[in-house]
Amino acid sequence: MKKIIKVFLILGLFLTGCTSQKHEWKETYHLTYFYLEDCSNCQYFKKSVLPAIKEEFGKHIKIKAWNMDGDQNVEAMKNAYDGYINQFIDFNQDHYGYGPLVILDGYFAVLGAGNKDEYVTRLINAIEGKKIKENNEIETIYYLKDGKVKQ
């Protein structure tokens, strides 16, 4: 009998220890990103960073992707892009049209994609009202005029 209890205890600990989602998200967050097919940093974002974001947030993140050089409705994409950058504080016009441009709606935006773990941590910190990691050589942070994250 003791062996059976130990086996169930070990199995229980093993199964509960295998969850990858670290936070208990209660809200649904919206992430929008703009990318270019031939942009290596955009491809890195899609193949490495985006899966890490999905793993952390699961069903609590809704993602909208805009291909900036695709065959979709160019007018709608441009209107969406311009609508977002008009919300940014001090947008650098030299960055116009570059990707990946990732916006966590209501919080902040990031142009570029670096380390996937730091990227996810930055999103978590923004949502939790903590200070977010500033710009680095690959990423530029843009704060929103009415965003929850302040400079």
What is the spatial distance between Cα 110 and Cα 92, in angstroms, rounded to a whole number? 12
In the numeric block, the tokens 């311009």 are attached to 82
> Is the entire prediction scored with pTM above 0.85?
no
Helix, strand, coil percent values for the chain (each to nearest 5)? 40, 20, 40
Residue 132: predicted pLDDT: 85
pLDDT score for 22: 63
- Report how far apart, in Å, the C-alpha atoms of 75 and of each of 65, 69, 82 are: 15, 12, 10
The mean pLDDT of 53-73, rounded to a whole number, is: 91
Pick from 1-15, 102-116, 124-138 the range whose average pLDDT is largest. Answer: 102-116
How confident is the model over 79-101, as pLDDT tens digits?
999 999 999 999 999 999 999 99
